Structure 1
Amino acid sequence: MSNHFFTTLSQYCKKDIVPMHMPGHKRNPLCTMPDPYSLDVTEVPGVDDLHHPVEMIRDLMDELTKYYDSKQTYLLVNGSTCGILAAITACCYPGDKILVARNCHKSVYNAIKLLGLRPVYVVPHRLEGMLGELGIAGEIEASEIRRRLKENSDIKCAMITSPTYEGIVSDIAGIAEAVHEKNIPLIVDEAHGAHFNWIPTFPETAVRQGADLVIESLHKTLPAFTQTAVLHQTGNRIDEERLLWALQTYQSSSPSYLLMASIAKCFEYVKTEESFSAEHFVKNLNDFYKKTDSLQKLETIRCEKMDLSKIVISTARTELTGQQLEELLLERYGVQLEMSCGNYALGMATICDTAEHFDRFAKALCDLDRSLSYAEKGAKKTFTYNIKPPEQRMFSHEAERLPKKEILLAEAAGQTAAKDVYLYPPGVPFAVAGEIFSQEMVDVLLDGQRSGYEVRGVENGRVFVCHEIK
């Protein structure tokens, strides 16, 4: 079985597939390291210790701190997930209130449950045009942040995601100003924006816009191994001792030196190749969009507040769903996308994509576009996240303690979710434990299952709900 695992992985990686998905190194031979076994050591004298860095790890952290102009940049080997858990733990104590963007990643909701926090939600702005019709969440507005903070004077910190999975960027500077008026910290999940600091024409990183803690997944959009990430601390609103304790709690006590070496190699690459890679990447990306602007039925969607390396392809005018488009691109053209949902699919481009990658992707879309038919007007209805946030009956940590029962999803309207329910990717919950299933949500989830999407928290058409409280 172990040999089967390695053989399957090796055979897959030998296929001629265009990887329009993470990790950001795209298996590009420009990003190489020696035999991994030769670098796999532990905390022995001479190679430092992530949890007490004083030598080479400290040097790398200090170098990154200087480059980002942060107060301190920390290395993460358990992904952005551990950074998010640590950041929230550093800012909140059990029972505290936290202001949370409703479209945050599941790791945020896990932190809320673990710490017994009381979330106050802010809902993303509804986008105009095709992006809104596709159900893609818009930016978080500073005015909404101010309103919720005014209504809840005891909130201890604010947590938002920017950019989103689909590349939507919020006004971090405006949000930071609103949050700091209450003298509380702002945490930004910038997992999908690790490349912002390295490409001048792209949105500015939250590190330079006033956020207090910023978490970036290097592996998503830069040439680094999966699980590598960094956490940037700025300003003086963070309890540094509690942050360090949280990082030691959520990170492995035996951190991988391979992953830390990958972080070092990643930054060596982007600093050395910064101007060359950024220039060629932007040119290749612009050429891709010029080629796909001729699409008649499919459509590549852009907007002003967007990271254009997230390539959103709408199937709304065709008979295809996003999932069917993803499958056809792989089967016919050897192009693998990152994800699909409803009437769109998503590709991820990075500085490690070659001109050939972009060219094959564009030609595949154009060729497929010519073979498609328009959807009949009004005949198309697909899975979407664009539903009203559910009513909360209790907090997630309270629901966790209650007896649970399993029922048919079709009969769940009015029942209280005992577990989070979400599509993965992107990992944004439809329902959080403690919230009430609405009929609208049940209908959308049933549509999703019929369309072949994997909805986590739903197994064989059944969900776990809390026993009714008498």
Structure 2
Amino acid sequence: MAPTPSSFSHLVSNGSSILEQNGKDEFQNAKTWKTLNKDLIPQETKVCSTPLVSAIEKAIEEKHATFQFPGHNKGLAAPSSLTRLIGDLPFLYDLSEIEDQFTQQSPILEAEKQAAKVFGSSQTWFLLGGSTCGVLAAIMGTCNSGDTLILPRNCHISAISALSLCGATPKYIFPDYDSHWDAATSVSPSEVEKAIKELELEGKKPAAVFITSPTYNGICSNVKEIATLCHSRDIPLIVDEAHGGHFGFHPQLPRSALQQGADVVVQSTHKVLLSLTQSSMLHASESLLVDKDRINRCLQILQSTSPSFLLLASLDATAAELKENPEAIFDNAIHLAEEAKLDLKHIPGISVLDFPNTDPLRVTVGVHDLDVSGYEAQDFLFKDQRVLPVLTGSRSVTFLFTPGSCREHVNRLVTGFQNLSSVYLLQNTKKQRVKRAALKPFVDIDMKLTPREAFFAKKKKVDVQDSLGKICGELICPYPPGVPVLIPGEVITEKALNILLQAKAYGARISGASDPHLLSIIVCDI
């Protein structure tokens, strides 16, 4: 069974007990009382200090007569189709009012302070809009309209959305690229320095530098060297560390971006760590290059005023779990990933990505020697063993190992690739081998409008064959990992279209396009 933060599971167990004790009077006619396990006895659990979990527990124990949101009223009117699936307890804890996230006495604020100590930040904010919300706030909190932001062309779409909101202009840099794996790797410090110097020649200074590390494949950039370079010119460094929230908590894991000197770091706490989906964190260092009050104001604009306390409590509980015994959380996952890599390397036609400074919990498996695409391999693995990857590419499939990974799943993963190898090696002996071209990235970017200008420009739909040379009006990317191939404001090139059409032919899902079949494209009508 996948591990759950102990304080969070204790809250759920205790909630069952509370419902049982008070059900005969307060919940006599409720569906909640009818579905309770009356024999449940909550176990004593050692927990760390968890302000949010404790606040929710106290709120339930006080047995309020509630005339507030939400309408289901602690599960009394929960939809039966959903309670059959997840039970009543999630509704019991789905509260709308404890205290305001931005007041000085909030249990949310106290939980964020404790999380900051665990993650080593000067200030931490809990996010309920995923890392997307954190990227938006980080860029809006450092860039004004007309400013320039240095960022990699393979950034997540949220960074482009932030530019549309704040009006900053992108100065793109390009990560290193490995054609054998058809994958962007790390952002080199020299590429960042080159961009800074080019702006200096124009009499400009970037408002910030933004990089993504690690990549979806787990490949890390040299954040320390990039941070030193930026700070030598008083430029703040923002790191999209969505896939590296677990970094720094085990000696075999890479150092976190905060530990390497980044000023603002965004982490998807739900990706590898233990919180609920959609919950993330935004961290700021002690750096004076960033206005933390401004970031806080940006979050007040971007975040809901009615946060889910279930999601917030899962962040609180995760931080407490990491404080209690961080290394033990990852021992099993790292061990299983190492075993899987060794087994996979012995399968004919299968290769395993082995780059320096890569997250050991990411296992990227190459299938190009079998003359199949990653998308074909994904379909085979699902049909054969019901195995689901975290990322599929043209030449590989990537798997994420987490604290919840188990040996039985690893065995199915290895078996799936053994069967894939047997089937396709046999087929390849009976037919002529077809060489599959890598989906190489392009660098001939021609930006006619800023993302913000393109966002607000009039638009029209044209056939894809008539779109060449026109200014793109929508953000289009194969998904995952959500890296855009066409960005609003850029001239549509033949190379960009070929990348999208080839990805679609391989089986990728096209995200962001109004026409997912790519028969037409939205362009700016100027």
Aligned length: 437
Distance in 1 between the 2:441 and 2:368 partners? 15
Distance in 1 between the 2:432 and 2:146 partners? 50
Give TM-score, length-normalised by structure 2. 0.79
Give TM-score, length-normalised by structure 1. 0.88
Work out which of the residue numbers 252, 275, 278 in structure 1 matches 2:304.
252
Aligned to 1:3: none
Distance in 1 between the 2:177 and 2:211 partners? 16
Aligned to 2:524: 466
Give the conservation status (yes or no) of the 8 Å contact 2:361–2:400.
yes
- Structure 1 residue 378 displacement after superposition: 6.8
Work out which of the residue numbers 20, 35, 38 in structure 1 matches 2:92.
38
| Mapping of residues 6-25 of structure 1, within 5 Å | none
Q: Aligned in 2, Cα 1:165/1:257: closer, same or farther, shift over 3 Å?
A: same
Distance in 2 between the 1:117 and 1:423 partners? 25
- Structure 1 residue 305 displacement after superposition: 2.5
Distance in 2 between the 1:219 and 1:205 partners? 16
Distance in 2 between the 1:377 and 1:157 partners? 51
Give the conservation status (yes or no) of the 8 Å contact 2:94–2:310.
yes
| Mapping of residues 3-402 of structure 1, within 5 Å | 32=9, 34=12, 35-44=89-98, 48-127=99-178, 132-152=179-199, 153-234=204-285, 235-373=287-425, 374=428, 379-381=434-436, 384=439, 386-402=441-457
- Structure 1 residue 416 displacement after superposition: 1.3
Distance in 1 between the 2:214 and 2:328 partners? 24
SS in 1 for 2:145: coil
SS in 1 for 2:484: strand
Q: Aligned in 2, Cα 1:385/1:363: closer, same or farther, shift over 3 Å?
A: same
Distance in 2 between the 1:445 and 1:162 partners? 24
**Equivalent position amino acid for 2:416 in 1:** A
Distance in 1 between the 2:240 and 2:444 partners? 21
Distance in 2 between the 1:464 and 1:353 partners? 42
Give the conservation status (yes or no) of the 8 Å contact 2:479–2:508.
no
Distance in 2 between the 1:146 and 1:90 partners? 23
User: CA offsets per residue over residues 159-184 of structure 1, 9 Å max, x none?
Assistant: 11000111110000000011111102
Work out which of the residue numbers 474, 484, 494 in structure 2 matches 1:419.
474
RMSD of the TM alignment (CA)? 2.1
Work out which of the residue numbers 508, 522, 526 in structure 2 matches 1:453.
508
Give the conservation status (yes or no) of the 8 Å contact 1:80–1:229.
yes
Distance in 2 between the 1:239 and 1:112 partners? 18
Distance in 1 between the 2:409 and 2:248 partners? 23
Aligned to 1:4: none
Distance in 2 between the 1:250 and 1:29 partners? 28
- Structure 1 residue 382 displacement after superposition: 5.1
Q: Aligned in 2, Cα 1:116/1:199: closer, same or farther, shift over 3 Å?
A: same
User: CA offsets per residue over residues 203-231 of structure 1, 9 Å max, x none?
Assistant: 10001111000010011111111111111
SS in 2 for 1:337: coil
Give the conservation status (yes or no) of the 8 Å contact 2:176–2:187.
yes
Q: Aligned in 2, Cα 1:458/1:446: closer, same or farther, shift over 3 Å?
A: farther
Structure 2: gaps of 5 or more residues: 13-88
Distance in 2 between the 1:307 and 1:167 partners? 5
Distance in 2 between the 1:387 and 1:458 partners? 23
User: CA offsets per residue over residues 371-402 of structure 1, 9 Å max, x none?
Assistant: 22249787233562533342212212222233
Distance in 2 between the 1:219 and 1:162 partners? 17
- Structure 1 residue 232 displacement after superposition: 0.8
User: CA offsets per residue over residues 34-75 of structure 1, 9 Å max, x none?
Assistant: 22222222233xxx3222252422322221222222111111
Give the conservation status (yes or no) of the 8 Å contact 2:5–2:274.
no
Distance in 2 between the 1:301 and 1:69 partners? 31
Structure 1: gaps of 5 or more residues: 1-24
Distance in 2 between the 1:263 and 1:29 partners? 9
Distance in 2 between the 1:339 and 1:69 partners? 30
- Structure 1 residue 415 displacement after superposition: 1.7
If asked which structure has higher relative contact order (CA below 8 Å, sep 6+), I would say 1
**Equivalent position amino acid for 1:63 in 2:** Q
Work out which of the residue numbers 465, 484, 487 in structure 2 matches 1:429.
484
Distance in 1 between the 2:158 and 2:316 partners? 26
Give the conservation status (yes or no) of the 8 Å contact 1:412–1:442.
no
- Structure 1 residue 95 displacement after superposition: 1.5
Give the conservation status (yes or no) of the 8 Å contact 1:421–1:455.
yes
- Structure 1 residue 96 displacement after superposition: 1.0
Give the conservation status (yes or no) of the 8 Å contact 1:326–1:339.
no
- Structure 1 residue 306 displacement after superposition: 1.4
Distance in 1 between the 2:301 and 2:163 partners? 16
- Structure 1 residue 29 displacement after superposition: 10
Give the conservation status (yes or no) of the 8 Å contact 1:157–1:185.
yes
Identity %: 28
- Structure 1 residue 295 displacement after superposition: 1.6
Give the conservation status (yes or no) of the 8 Å contact 2:115–2:316.
no
Give the conservation status (yes or no) of the 8 Å contact 1:161–1:190.
yes
- Structure 1 residue 411 displacement after superposition: 3.2
Distance in 2 between the 1:319 and 1:458 partners? 32
Give the conservation status (yes or no) of the 8 Å contact 1:41–1:257.
yes
Aligned to 2:47: none
Distance in 1 between the 2:176 and 2:435 partners? 24
SS in 1 for 2:342: helix
Give the conservation status (yes or no) of the 8 Å contact 2:148–2:206.
yes
- Structure 1 residue 291 displacement after superposition: 1.0
Distance in 1 between the 2:440 and 2:279 partners? 29
**Equivalent position amino acid for 1:418 in 2:** G
Q: If you compute each CA radius of gyration, which structure gives the higher value, 1 or 2?
A: 2
Distance in 2 between the 1:100 and 1:86 partners? 15
